[in-house]
Amino acid sequence: MTLITGVRFDNYVIVSCDSSYQLVYYDMETGEEIDTHFSKLDETKSKVKKLTNKVLYGMGGTEQGHELILDRVADKLQPNDDINKCRQVIWEVVQELTESDYYFKSILEQDSIGGNLVGFNRDGTSSQYVMMIGKETPNSFENLPDNFSMLNPYGFKEYISGHVFGLGNPHGKMDFKTISKTVQLVHGTLSYVNPNYVSSDCTLYIIKKRKKKGEYQYQFEKTTVDTSYYQTQLPSQKEVEAWLYQRM
């Protein structure tokens, strides 16, 4: 499974991910799922892609589906395209593949694909969109007003908004260090109660914005943190699960 977290504020955006993945085996005749196997991505792969200098894209669901999308998207984007342009191009590619690509359509018949698009608009403001397409899922690419979102944490809602962990509170501290630590805590908590589906390693992809000589400049950073440290501070798994469900 997958844990993708998106965060957006005025001067920075973050998309974080784990490295767990699930191999699903199907019966060739019936199409029914017959077995699963859990493993971790190697260091050459990731669930987050930097689309442009301003935009990050987190991927949940079938890897092959995202590969088909991104192969076409890469040819249509320029380095400085904003999030609105990225959203438009991704959605156009999804429509093209849904109509004409047999392999892509077969993937959607078996599974769902989720994408978390986070980045900056042309005017320097930040935005966040979540795409959901596929099996038993109404195709959508929604604008999320929250500062914080989470894509497909196993065993919980598809989206967990910021209020669950106190994010998005206008009276709280919103500096980068505080928020990045909170993202790591959230990741560690959900890995704690879902260790097979969410790995404890949390990789944060970050774009920071600053203004220089009247123009916005964008700086990309990437870091990986082992969130198992946070898990040593938590009560039992059952207590944490009960706390999460009570707040959602």
**Tens-place pLDDT, residues 1-45:** 678 999 998 899 999 999 987 766 666 677 666 666 677 777 778
Q: What is the helix (H) or strand (E) element at residue 122, kind and residue range? A: none
Ordered by start, the domain boundaries in the chain are 4-12+15-247
The length of the chain is 248
User: Binning pLDDT at 50, 70 and 90, where does residue 171 land?
Assistant: very low
pLDDT tens for each residue of 54-101: 999 999 888 889 999 999 999 999 999 999 999 999 999 999 999 999
pLDDT of residue 227: 93
- Please answer whether residues 218 and 51 qualify as being in contact, where contact means their C-beta atoms are separated by less than 8 angstroms: no
111 vs 115: CA distance, rounded Å: 14
Q: Does domain 4-12+15-247 have CATH number 3.60.20.10?
A: yes
CB-based burial of residue 57 (10 Å sphere; 0-12 exposed, 13-18 middle, 19+ buried)? buried
Backbone angles phi, psi at 108, to 5 degrees: -70, -25
Structure tokens at 164: 């669950």
Q: What is the pLDDT of residue 193?
A: 84
| Beta strands 20-26; 33-40: pairing state | antiparallel
Counting residues of the chain whose pLDDT is more than 70, the rounded percentage is: 80
Structure tokens at 29: 């005749």
Which tokens is 18 given? 């784990």
